[in-house]
Amino acid sequence: MRFKIISLHANVNKEEILEEYRLDEVRVSITKNGEYIINEPLVNDELQSMYEKLMEALFLSLKPLAEVKDPLKYMEEHIYKEAEELDLKNVQQVFPQLRYYLVRDVLGYGILDTFMKDDRIEEITCERYDRNIGVVHRDYTQFNILDSNVTFSTMDAMNSYVQRLMQRSGKSITAATPIADAVTKEGDRIMVTYGKEVSLPGPTLDIRKFPRQPFVITHLLKFNTLNPLMAAYIWLLLDAKGFGLIVGETGSGKTTMINSLMSLTNPKWKIITIEETPELKIPHYRWARLVTRSSANIVDTKFDIGIMELVKGTLRMRPDFLIVGEVRGTESYTLFQSAATGHGGLTSFHATDPLAALNRLSAEPINIKPSQQMLLWFIIHLKKVRLKGGRVVRRVMSIVEIIPKDDKVVMQEIFKYDVENDRFNIDNIKELITKSNRIKQAAELLGVKLEEDLEKRLSLINICIEKNADSIDDVFNLVQRYYDYAPSNGM
């Protein structure tokens, strides 16, 4: 049989259920044992046989779906047309189920479709074809990775799945280039290996999913990733074209932080972003989006254009603000050099904490001298932490300022997170003003009265929370008020 429905079912004991929800035709159960159980529409022999015939017919007759305006509608019409031609009776009665499986397998992501549709899933991971696929759920982080009732079962099934997945994103994976990454049309990041070439016992798959509606500063404040005063503080430093670094481990929320902070900056600015994977969404009208070029797969790198080349290029583009998605090696040096030309900057750097970051930046091979380290104003440290109740959350562990002292630099901690109480050390403007040097410098550069200015920013940030400004545009519109009141400010 060429086409066969793989339908997911598992019995779940009622007492074991933590939460149950529906995603269209699917029922998802989260259990106390840390499982993610999918129950799909039931399949009987009649449905199975219709599916088989229709898949065969659709396989031969469907136009490439990329050419179709509304693929879902096109599919539905086609199902009826083919059913009529094949003289299939009872299609009407089983249409919802039939449509579900056909759409899942033709337009959707097959057996991973529920995971891809569930916006509460953050990551999908499969280390072996014969084990249950794991998922990271935004609301059940205490389990780390939830076990699902989905498995590829065979190496062949997983190999063809990863091949199809990569093709959908315009890439290819074969025994010759058995490791590759890609971005889906929804913006999720995929990393796969193929066959037994570079992974044992077979292929691996990892999908990092991003919320369909990106998190904005309001979300981060509501989550308590940072407090309103910290947001006002960073906003002021960015406005004065300070240069900041965001450090943290993989998945600690660095890119999300950069993205949400940018909605707080001057709408009139010209912003350049440089990234390897286009993840950032900047609301500014003058946004130049540069993306590195890497070959179709990560094995062949002859024609690559890297971050360093792009940073060099921006020197002549005179941005107000430059964002580099992530720096790792010697390109950091180029970035520090470019920061000296006077634009603001924000970048992320993979490091366990600010001290480790500064040490790595100043040591071989990056070698940034203290005279250049002074260009760095502040470092924000992000981390995943486990709260008392077991929930894993993302928090700004600290914000430190880099302060020139004699011929060197010193780090001064301004904000600090207290995990015991899940709160931050400072939440009032006066205390912040006594602690921070960089905000005084910023206020001077901008020609504003520090306390008054911080109050203004803080009140707008609080309005974002009160009004629940949960889209980039909502935040941007509110923040715009700051610049309306002070038209010459920060320009």
Ligand X SMILES: Nc1ncnc2c1ncn2[C@@H]1O[C@H](COP(=O)(O)OP(=O)(O)OP(=O)(O)O)[C@@H](O)[C@H]1O
**Inter-axis angle of helices 45-61 and 71-85, to 10 degrees?**
110
Judged by CB under 5 A, the stretch of 11-19, 249-257, 311-319, 464-472 that binds Mg ion is 249-257
- Which of 148, 255, 297, 398 lies at the binding interface for Mg ion (CB under 5 A)? 255
CA neighbours closer than 13 Å in the CB half-sphere of residue 109: 19
What tokens appear for 414 in the block?
Answer: 């301004």
| Radius of gyration over every alpha carbon of the chain, rounded to an integer in angstroms | 26
Q: 324 near 335, Cβ under 8 Å?
A: yes
> What type of residue sits at position 302?
K
Q: Is 285 an interacting residue with respect to ligand X (CB under 6 A)?
A: no
User: Which residues from 299-338 bind Mg ion, rule CB under 5 A?
Assistant: none
User: Which residues from 331-390 bind ligand X, rule CB under 6 A?
Assistant: none
Give whichever of 59 and 223 is closer to Mg ion, judged by the CB atom: 223
Give whichever of 152 and 215 is closer to ligand X, judged by the CB atom: 215
Judged by CB under 6 A, the stretch of 48-56, 197-205, 244-252, 365-373 that binds ligand X is 244-252
Give whichever of 97 and 259 is closer to ligand X, judged by the CB atom: 259
Minimum Å gap between C-beta 249 and Mg ion is 11
Question: Residue 250 touches which of ligand X, Mg ion, none (CB < 5 to 8 A by kind)?
Answer: ligand X
Distance CA 126, CA 109 (A): 15
Question: Residue 161 touches which of ligand X, Mg ion, none (CB < 5 to 8 A by kind)?
Answer: none
Question: Residue 210 touches which of Mg ion, ligand X, none (CB < 5 to 8 A by kind)?
Answer: ligand X
User: Which residues from 392-451 bind ligand X, rule CB under 6 A?
Assistant: 394
Minimum Å gap between C-beta 144 and ligand X is 14
Handedness of CA 484, 486, 487, 491 (dihedral sign): negative
Contact letters for ligand X, residues 222-241 (x by CB under 6 A): -x-x----------------
225: Cβ contacts below 8 Å, ≥ 6 apart: 253, 257, 382, 393, 394, 395, 396
Question: Which residue is at the shortest CB distance from ligand X?
Answer: 253
Question: Residue 265 touches which of ligand X, Mg ion, none (CB < 5 to 8 A by kind)?
Answer: none
User: Which residues from 446-465 bind Mg ion, rule CB under 5 A?
Assistant: none
Give whichever of 50 and 180 is closer to ligand X, judged by the CB atom: 180
Q: Is 143 an interacting residue with respect to ligand X (CB under 6 A)?
A: no
401: Cβ contacts below 8 Å, ≥ 6 apart: 377, 378, 411, 412, 414, 436, 437, 438
Judged by CB under 6 A, the stretch of 29-37, 142-150, 160-168, 208-216 that binds ligand X is 208-216
Residues that bind Mg ion (CB under 5 A): 254-255
Q: Residues interacting with ligand X, by CB under 6 A?
A: 122, 210-211, 215, 220, 223, 225, 248, 250-256, 326, 394
